[in-house]
Amino acid sequence: MAKGDVGFPELVMQMKITNRLLAAQLKATLSQQDMVRLLSSTGATNQEIANVLDTTPATVATTLQRLKKKEAAIVDRSPGVSASVTSSLSGGNVSDA
């Protein structure tokens, strides 16, 4: 490799730095719960989310569980939500009984 060439490890390090800088900007405007929701939607693991937010994977897992419960409660209280929609969100099956 010639001087000035950048390898994969250097690119990964730069991506991590960029991600942390972007997360730092978002932290000023979003709650940690919203940050966990956002990062989780990207497919990041609990460990990866924890690294970005300077917390533990257990805290991320707990936050995700609370978000699931909160979202389930919203769906349950929403008028006009059919049983099939509620079931599909929870991963269950609906019979036509």
Residue 51 lies in a domain: yes
Residue 85 lies in a domain: no
Structural domain containing residue 65: 14-76
Give the tens place of pLDDT for each residue, 41-96.
989 999 999 998 999 999 999 999 999 999 888 888 776 655 544 444 444 444 44
Residue 43 lies in a domain: yes
Residue 65 lies in a domain: yes
Residue 66 lies in a domain: yes
Per-residue confidence band for 6, with pLDDT thresholds at 50, 70 and 90: confident
Give the tens place of pLDDT for each residue, 8-21.
999 988 988 888 88
Question: Angle, nearest 10°, between helix axes 46-53 and 8-27?
Answer: 70
C-alpha–C-alpha distance, residues 13 and 50, integer Å: 17
Residue 87 lies in a domain: no
Predicted TM-score (pTM) of this structure: 0.62
Residue 97 lies in a domain: no
Q: How many domains does the chain have?
A: 1
